[in-house]
Amino acid sequence: MTALLEIRNLHAEVAGRKILNGLDLTVNKGEVHAIMGPNGAGKSTLSYLLAGKPGYEVTEGQALFNGLDMFAMAPDERAAKGLFLAFQYPLEIPGVATLTFLRTALNAQRRKRGEEELSSPDLIMRVREIAKDLDIDAEMLRRPVNVGFSGGEKKRNETLQMMLLQPQLCVLDETDSGLDIDALKVVANGVNALRSSDRAMIVITHYQRLLNHIVPDVVHVLAAGRIVRTGGKELALELEASGYAQYQSEAA
Amino acid sequence: MIHLGKNTTSRIISKGIAAGHSNNTYRGLVSAHRRATGARNFTNCDSLLIGQECGAHTVPYIEAKNSSALFEHEATTSKISEEMLFYCMQRGLSAEEATALVVNGFVKDVLQQLPMEFAVEAQKLISISLEGSVG
């Protein structure tokens, strides 16, 4: 197995406040990792750091993505190299049709990788195929990106983008928040369809519920900016029963 | 916009973009003549700010010389936020491509009214004048 992502001793702060405290994490190709933990443990911070959001400072440690220093790359380079972050709160872009956004994003990535751009008819065909699996109708693709979308539509749109862009590492930041049970299944099916031996996923969530549908290989507990426990999928069930309280006192 | 006849209607859509250290001001007169009864106007004035140092100002002038004219004015100011750019960049767009995409979305209402040739030129012009405005 080859390590797709290797994080070593990561310390980071946001607006002068220390959030991550020596986090280590190795994700191999083909694996699905779940990261669980209480509010404010640094789960979202980790996902933003990986994606390169401005304002999130790495103070110590490093992350290797396919052997490349991740923090030396701009956010768009990381995306072109195959990193995808499914946002917890996807942003709205008024006046830009969803299909236009998909085309611009895919072709920007292809250009950066030195590949040829995809023609519009090919793209439309590909998008339609994925949209069908996700219960997305053509009317939604014409609407501006995320503007006036319901919570479920936004998350399905994130999944659509992920399936179109075919990233190597998918980071899903609380993709289950704001989803009803049916939408959760649709999104989980999409994510499961992406599971493959040369792709890895990091699923960030508070609840076991999502992990019933996306079954992880490894579960980590993140508390006070560090991974405090690692186990198999049964760890998630144990957490559901016992809560996070013990880890919070342990970390402090 | 000057209304002279009875029951005339008009619509103004203004989209202003301010980047860098620039300020953008909209001044528009809408006037109804004494005999232009039942005149109607709707004005929509949107401004987009790029960066921290720029500003947008809206100064509508309304002159109604009869009591049955109905004039509406609506104004919005929005900013290209860092979050929005980050979202686009996470999908693979460079900072400049992201800005161009958001700006084109903003001016879409106006550009789609233009003949094709103009719209293409206008779009190019916008991306050229915004070059280097994102730091």
Q: What ipTM did this prediction achieve?
A: 0.92
Q: What is the pLDDT of residue B120?
A: 84
Alpha carbon A61 to its chain's center: 21
Residue A216 belongs to what domain range? 3-251
Residue appearing with tokens 């509406």: B72
Q: What is the pLDDT of residue A250?
A: 56
At residue A29, does pLDDT exceed 90? yes
List all residues of chain A from 107 to 146 with a beta carbon under 8 Å from chain B.
108-109, 112, 144
Instruction: Give the C-alpha separation, A167 to A130, whole Å.
Output: 15
Q: Measured between alpha carbons, how far is residue A249 from residues A61, A79, A204, A224, B133 in Å?
A: 25, 37, 21, 10, 48
Q: Which residues of B touch A104 (CB under 8 A)?
A: 93, 97, 101
Pairing of strands A56-65, A218-223: unpaired
We report the CATH number of the domain holding residue A149 as: 3.40.50.300
Q: Which of B44, B81, B93 to mutate to test the interface with A (most CBs of A within 10 A)?
A: B93
Count up the domains in chain A and report the number: 1
User: Which of A85, A95, A108 is nearest residue B97 as measured by Cβ atoms?
Assistant: A108
Across the interface, whether the CB atoms of B93 and A165 are under 8 A apart is answered no
**Is B101 in the A-facing interface, judged by CB distances under 8 Å?**
yes
Cβ atoms of A77 and A108 within 8 Å: the answer is no
Residues β-bridged to residue B64: B32
- Residue B92 touches partner A, C-beta closer than 8 Å: yes
What pTM value is reported for the model?
Answer: 0.87
**Which residues in chain A are closer than 8 Å to B93, comparing Cβ atoms?**
76, 104-105, 108
Mutate to test the interface with A, among B90, B97, B99 (most CBs of A within 10 A): B90
Confidence grade of residue A178 (pLDDT, cut at 50, 70, 90)? confident
Mean pLDDT, chain A, rounded, equals 91
pLDDT in tens, chain B (135 residues): 999 999 999 999 999 999 889 999 999 999 999 999 999 999 999 999 988 899 999 999 999 999 999 999 999 998 888 899 999 999 999 988 899 899 989 998 888 888 988 888 888 888 777 776 664
Angle of helix B95-111 relative to helix B116-129, nearest 10 degrees, comes to 140
B17-to-A24, A95, B68, B89, B104 alpha-carbon distances in Å: 45, 15, 34, 21, 11
Q: Where are the alpha helices (DSSP H) in chain B?
A: 82-90, 95-111, 116-129
